[in-house]
A and B are shown apart, each in its own frame.
Chain A
Amino acid sequence: MAKIISDVVCPFCGTLCDDLEVKVSDDGKELLEVYNACVIGTEKFLHSQAEDRLTVPQMQDEEGNSKDVSVDDAVEYTAQMLCNAKKPLMYGWSSTNCEAQSVGHEIAELVGAVVDNTATVCHGTTLIALQDVGVPSCTLGEVKNRADRIVFWGCNPAHAHPRHMSRYSIFPRGFFTGKGHKARKMVVVDPRSTDTAKMADLHMQIEQGRDYELLSALRVAVRGNPLPETVAGIPRETIQEVAETLKSGRFVIIFFGMGVTQSLSKNHNIDMAISLTRDLNDYTKAAIMPMRGHYNVTGSGQVLGWQFGYPFCVDLSRGFARYNPGDSTSNDLLRRGEVDAIFVLGSDPGAHFPISSVKKIAKLPSVCVDPHITPTSAVCKLHMPVAFVGVEEGGCAYRMDNVPIETRKVIDAPEGVLSDEEFLKRVLTRVKEIKGVA
């Protein structure tokens, strides 16, 4: 026999599906099967059951050999490292809950750290753009219930957000969208013929790195002004057709991803995409939404926002919060050698940062808090294995449209394995002792 837990929230991507069902053994110790989730989400749940899972903290010596250490030793090493550093970097925060982020921020404030999340190599440019021009957006339910013109720009939900199209954007039959995908027009902008692009009514196979031009051309076309014969490899007629398609919709939504945020022109691309959305609001209703990656990178930006006023790369080292992308962003700090200790939680910079940054991490005192063995844990001095948030621990997470959902604990963590929050609280207590504050 086994029991089924329903309404489980998937702690993988920013789609934050909350309709999963999980089969667990009667004693609640073993997770047997996962229903409704995509293949990535299913793997995340099942991975917590891996038999070779790490449960004991690992400390590397100078030759790179790992040995088991106690949790107390891990707490002590982390607290001493943060307190002794002049300017530690506390990076990640995107695959954990808001409660852990909050405790992390308190530590960062005490030790004068820089707090940065994965937006720094992801949608940070989006955040910069919306500081320039704002952002007209909506929740995913508005898309489901109203939207009849769907644009995917530089993103590939078929693989990166597998249930996005079925739950929210293309297929669902909502209140004013009873015909589902039959009454929706789907436009995809991508230099590759992706699986998402293959589904589109209109695929604009743009020349790589020409997003800014094409977005500008669309704004021109929306206004009915003349265009050159081709822009970014797209014929004028196609651009005009897309502009007309968008204008003739009742509700337009533009989803965009890494393809525009981290390609040439970065935040300027997003400025232009948001401005296009603004323009469309003169003709119909239009909204735009970033396809956030990690399931709670959005939450990190929110918690940083209400506690310090900025969504990422917050430098607390001067005693007050400073925000200056390009200066206080992780890769810039690492590559210029401006930080002297690295604390990573809920992210894998070892796999995603440039090698020049990863080399710096390898040379510095460093802690990686992660349930998995990752490229980051391989280069960090201390690897602290923790419970899986959303599987073995609950807590709040924010979906890509900023909607907060409380994740559920479905099984217990292996004995002796702390959650992110529990570990951070112990570090905080120790930091307070070292710093001599009540």
Chain B
Amino acid sequence: MAEYLIKNGFVFDPVLGINGDKTDVAIKDGKIVKSTEIKNPKVVDAAGKTVMAGGVDIHAHVAGPKVNLGRNYRPEDKLFTYAPKKGARRMAGGFSVPTVFRTGYKYAQMGYTTVMEAAMPPLYARHVHEEMRDTPILDQGAYPVFGNNWFVLEYLKNHEVENTAAYMSWLLRTTKGYAVKIVNPGGTEAWGWGLNCNSIHDPVPYFDITPAQIMKGLMEANEALKLPHSVHIHTNNLGNPGNYETTLDTFKLFEGEKPNNDFGRKQVMHHTHVQFHSYGGDSWRNVESKADKIMDYVNSHDNMTMDLGCVTLDETTTMTADGPFEHHLTELNHLKWANTDVELETAAGVVPYIYSPNVKVCGVQWAIGLELGLMAKDPMRVFITTDHPNAGPFFRYPRVMKWLMSKDAREAQMDALKWAERVRDSTFLSGIDRELTLYEIAAMTRAGPAQALGLKDRYGSLTPGLEADVAVYDYNPETAEDPELIEKAFGNAAYLFKGGEMVVKEGEVVSNGNKKTLWVDAKVAENPQVQRDVTEKFLRYYTVTQANYEVNEKVFMKNPYRIEIDATQ
């Protein structure tokens, strides 16, 4: 493979503690190396440019059955977005739910190289993997959902953590999953009957267990397996005024818990798209930001991480395994509603949504997402996302960065809201002067998520020995003043290296890269009870046989990368 030397760029790397110093980055055999180790490099002149490790997205819905439903049932989403085939690029289109090709190219153009699919229904695991296989460039993994799984509900009702862990190990291996996702625990099972669990203490119909027990038990099983990532939670009561109390109740479940793993992960729980969980008030009329209460808690508890879920004020397509929420949403906006309940496991819903700058609530949501980022004391624990495509499409990250890095930019947007004064009254945003630095942005988009995923030895930094995922942006931090330059530069990487290969050259995607698909194989001691339960459930309740459930690595995955863990002790 070619050797590269990226010279004279302004480097930002919170892991190495490099804050904008002019440093060279050397690439050899797909890895980052010391500059002295390369002999005949191709030189990339990065003078006047910003250099960071490739971006790592901890939470996006980019592949799988609900994503594809979003594509297929919204032909209107493709209008005006199609780009023809060119060079290495396939034809690609779509706005809020882009095709797999556009997903890969757009992330690459933002300098991102690793993207985690945030919710994989186990029965549909093959579909998720087929889409990831076809998504160019990006290293990916997917989180199977566990929070409404009948095995989990039955084991945790009696607090059988060992059995839960054994089942978790089996399911991760069978579906080739990466981490344990929990979506509206118990509530989605209740949705099988058209019901919901609105607090973490609402019992689940029939199963007689509470969401709190589910989340706590899954966390214990996750730590018993020593998995690279922690449990990844979307708690109950999403998107309702006054729900911040449910969110804080959820956080408090994990107080005092310590992580157990060999991957350098420091949290026991990741809570995703916290913006949707930070509302005060008791109706849409008086909804207000509770970002202060939420961030007070997050800042003072270092055993948790979170991502923002910033609203970007676009027309988008919401999709979540929180089935009852999507029904609630369609009752609210009367747009087309799709839903799929999945036997024994989960459900999902899809509804288009327009975050209009002319609607007060949308303005409040927009402000809350940014407040959470601006109130964060430790950027290594708070990550930028838009919960793509739920709060906005992922390719708006550069715009979110602009708002986070410039008070002028966010005030300009605030002024452009129809109900700007009312939004100001209900939120804290206009009172916050903080402007995030590139160093902090690098933590929130690379180093932090890589560490939280247990992947800090592969991604997120320019430390020699790591994967040579390097982004070069045409942004000069010494001279740039106009905040629009931030959005422009971070949406159009000048160069991107992925695993040592040049994927973006002078702003153009020139290669489909050599993607890897990550999955976790945690070995546990043989557990006859779980084996028996699995066999029984397949015989009696599933509609596929057990032998036809496992995802075949060879057929469905491109360059599978197995992370092995021995949790037999």
26 A–B contacts from the bound complex (CB under 8 Å): A18-B544, A18-B545, A109-B91, A133-B336, A134-B336, A134-B337, A134-B338, A135-B73, A138-B339, A138-B342, A140-B543, A141-B123, A141-B542, A142-B192, A174-B540, A250-B193, A287-B339, A287-B341, A302-B72, A306-B100, A307-B99, A311-B72, A323-B75, A396-B126, A403-B543, A404-B130
Chain B 98-127 interface residues, beta-carbon cutoff 8 Å to A: 98-101, 123-124, 126-127
Chain A residues with CB below 8 A from B327, complex form: 281
* A109–B85 CA distance with the chains assembled, in angstroms: 8
Contact of B543 among A9, A135, A139, A302 (CB under 8 A): A139
* A278–B131 CA distance with the chains assembled, in angstroms: 29
Chain B 538-568 per-residue mask, 1 if CB under 8 angstroms from chain A, else 0: 0011111101100010011000000000000
Asked whether any CB of chain B lies closer than 8 Å to the CB of A319, the reply is yes
Q: How far is the CB of A307 from chain B (nearest CB, A)?
A: 6
Chain A 46-92 interface residues, beta-carbon cutoff 8 Å to B: none
Chain B residues with CB below 8 A from A145, complex form: 343-344, 541
CB distance B72 to A396 under 8 Å? no
CB distance A141 to B548 under 8 Å? no
Asked whether any CB of chain B lies closer than 8 Å to the CB of A309, the reply is yes
CB distance B124 to A403 under 8 Å? yes
**Chain B interface SS verdict (over half):** mixed
Known contacts A134-B73, A285-B193; A139 and B342 CB within 8 A of each other: yes
CB distance A316 to B126 under 8 Å? no
Known contacts A7-B548, A306-B100, A319-B84; A142 and B341 CB within 8 A of each other: yes
CB distance A309 to B77 under 8 Å? yes
Chain B residues with CB below 8 A from A285, complex form: 192-194
Asked whether any CB of chain A lies closer than 8 Å to the CB of B90, the reply is yes
Contact of B342 among A134, A142, A303 (CB under 8 A): A142
User: Which of A124-132, A201-209, A355-363 touches B?
Assistant: A124-132
CB distance B84 to A310 under 8 Å? no
Known contacts A19-B545, A307-B134; A404 and B90 CB within 8 A of each other: no
Asked whether any CB of chain A lies closer than 8 Å to the CB of B94, the reply is yes
Chain A residues with CB below 8 A from B330, complex form: 134
* A323–B78 CA distance with the chains assembled, in angstroms: 10
* A138–B348 CA distance with the chains assembled, in angstroms: 9
CB distance B343 to A142 under 8 Å? yes
* A145–B294 CA distance with the chains assembled, in angstroms: 40
CB distance B99 to A141 under 8 Å? no
For residue A288, which residue of chain B has the nearest CB? B339
Range of interface residues on A (Cβ < 8 Å): 35 or more
What's the count of A-B pairs with C-beta under 8 Å? 183
Q: How far is the CB of B87 from chain A (nearest CB, A)?
A: 9
Q: Which residues of A contact B (CB under 8 A)?
A: 6-7, 9, 18-19, 98-99, 102, 109, 127, 130-142, 144-146, 167-168, 174-176, 250-251, 278, 281, 284-285, 287, 301-303, 305-311, 316, 319-321, 323, 394-396, 398, 401-406
Chain B residues with CB below 8 A from A311, complex form: 72
Q: How far is the CB of B497 from chain A (nearest CB, A)?
A: 21
Known contacts A285-B192, A319-B84, A320-B82; A135 and B338 CB within 8 A of each other: yes
Chain B residues with CB below 8 A from A168, complex form: 543
CB distance A321 to B78 under 8 Å? yes
Q: How far is the CB of A116 from chain B (nearest CB, A)?
A: 15
Asked whether any CB of chain A lies closer than 8 Å to the CB of B458, the reply is no
* Interface residues contributed by chain B, number (CB under 8 Å): 62
Asked whether any CB of chain A lies closer than 8 Å to the CB of B413, the reply is no
* A131–B71 CA distance with the chains assembled, in angstroms: 10
Q: Which residues of B contact A (CB under 8 A)?
A: 63, 65, 67-68, 71-75, 77-78, 82-85, 90-91, 93-94, 97-101, 123-124, 126-127, 130-131, 134, 150, 192-194, 206, 327, 330, 335-344, 347, 350-351, 540-545, 547-548, 552, 555-556
Q: How far is the CB of B150 from chain A (nearest CB, A)?
A: 8
Chain B residues with CB below 8 A from A398, complex form: 127
* A307–B104 CA distance with the chains assembled, in angstroms: 12
For residue B63, which residue of chain A has the nearest CB? A306
Q: Which of B63, B192, B542 has the most CB of A within 10 A?
A: B192
Known contacts A306-B68, A321-B82, A404-B127; A130 and B548 CB within 8 A of each other: no
CB distance B351 to A134 under 8 Å? yes
For residue B347, which residue of chain A has the nearest CB? A138
CB distance A278 to B547 under 8 Å? no
* A142–B206 CA distance with the chains assembled, in angstroms: 16
Chain B residues with CB below 8 A from A302, complex form: 68, 72, 127
CB distance B193 to A109 under 8 Å? no
CB distance B194 to A139 under 8 Å? no
CB distance B72 to A310 under 8 Å? yes
CB distance B91 to A144 under 8 Å? no
Chain A residues with CB below 8 A from B72, complex form: 127, 131, 301-302, 305, 309-311
For residue B78, which residue of chain A has the nearest CB? A309
Q: How far is the CB of A250 from chain B (nearest CB, A)?
A: 7
Q: How far is the CB of A317 from chain B (nearest CB, A)?
A: 12
Q: How far is the CB of A13 from chain B (nearest CB, A)?
A: 15
Q: How far is the CB of A102 from chain B (nearest CB, A)?
A: 7
* A396–B206 CA distance with the chains assembled, in angstroms: 35
* A53–B222 CA distance with the chains assembled, in angstroms: 55
Q: How far is the CB of B155 from chain A (nearest CB, A)?
A: 16
Q: How far is the CB of B358 from chain A (nearest CB, A)?
A: 24
Chain B residues with CB below 8 A from A19, complex form: 545
Contact of A98 among B77, B93, B123, B130 (CB under 8 A): B130
* A405–B548 CA distance with the chains assembled, in angstroms: 7
Contact of A141 among B67, B73, B75, B344 (CB under 8 A): B344
Known contacts A396-B130, A405-B544; A136 and B337 CB within 8 A of each other: yes
CB distance B192 to A146 under 8 Å? yes
CB distance A406 to B338 under 8 Å? no
Chain A residues with CB below 8 A from B63, complex form: 306
* A404–B549 CA distance with the chains assembled, in angstroms: 9
* A396–B544 CA distance with the chains assembled, in angstroms: 14
Q: How far is the CB of A390 from chain B (nearest CB, A)?
A: 12
Known contacts A142-B192, A306-B68, A309-B93; A406 and B73 CB within 8 A of each other: no
Chain B residues with CB below 8 A from A133, complex form: 336-337
Q: How far is the CB of A331 from chain B (nearest CB, A)?
A: 20
* A138–B94 CA distance with the chains assembled, in angstroms: 26
